[in-house]
């Protein structure tokens, strides 16, 4: 399927943004705001991610779809803390590459798949996921 102009523009904008490496100051802000350092580009806190997990009743064997996953926050955190499997989708390849590295670092790479896809044109069949999240994403 061909990308729309909006998707191409968003991919170009966010690819540049995700190529910027973190630094100590950014990590300190993220720790203070989010409660963890994941290279996140959003503001979902660790407490809010824990609330999502509890509300969705995520656990081993569950499949979670995270639309607009970016670098994998909070999807990979939820996989790590609940034992669920995650599929993260986003357009910027640089973000997904970062998420792949983080999945390895957090030892959840066997339960994490990352797919280049727009939230508007997801390549999945109905019923493949037990829960869907899209934190800090404008759809």
The pLDDT of residue 13 is: 67
Domain map (residue ranges) of the chain: 5-133
pLDDT number for residue 131: 98
What pLDDT was estimated at residue 16?
A: 65
Q: Which stretches in the chain have pLDDT values below 70?
A: 1-3, 12-13, 15-20, 40-41, 138-139
Q: What is the assigned CATH class of domain 5-133?
A: alpha beta
Say what the pLDDT of residue 88 is. Answer: 97
Tell me how far apart the alpha carbons of residues 69 and 87 are, in angstroms, rounded to a whole number: 9
Secondary structure letter of residue 110 according to DSSP: G
Q: Is the pTM of this model over 0.85?
A: no
pLDDT of the residue at 50: 96
Residue 38: the pLDDT is 76
* pLDDT for position 9: 74
């Amino acid at each position: 399927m061909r990308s729309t102009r909006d998707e191409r523009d968003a991919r170009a904008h966010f690819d540049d943004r995700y190529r910027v490496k973190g630094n100590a100051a950014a990590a300190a802000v993220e720790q203070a705001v989010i409660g963890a350092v994941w290279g996140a580009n959003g503001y979902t806190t660790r407490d809010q991610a824990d609330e999502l997990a509890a509300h969705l009743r995520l656990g081993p064997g569950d499949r979670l779809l995270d639309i607009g996953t970016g670098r994998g926050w909070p999807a990979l955190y939820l996989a790590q803390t609940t034992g669920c499997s995650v599929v993260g989708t986003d357009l910027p390849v640089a973000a997904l590459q970062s998420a792949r590295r983080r999945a390895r670092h957090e030892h959840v790479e066997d339960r994490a798949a990352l797919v280049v896809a727009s939230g508007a044109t997801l390549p999945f069949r109905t019923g493949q996921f037990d829960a869907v999240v899209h934190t800090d994403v404008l759809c």
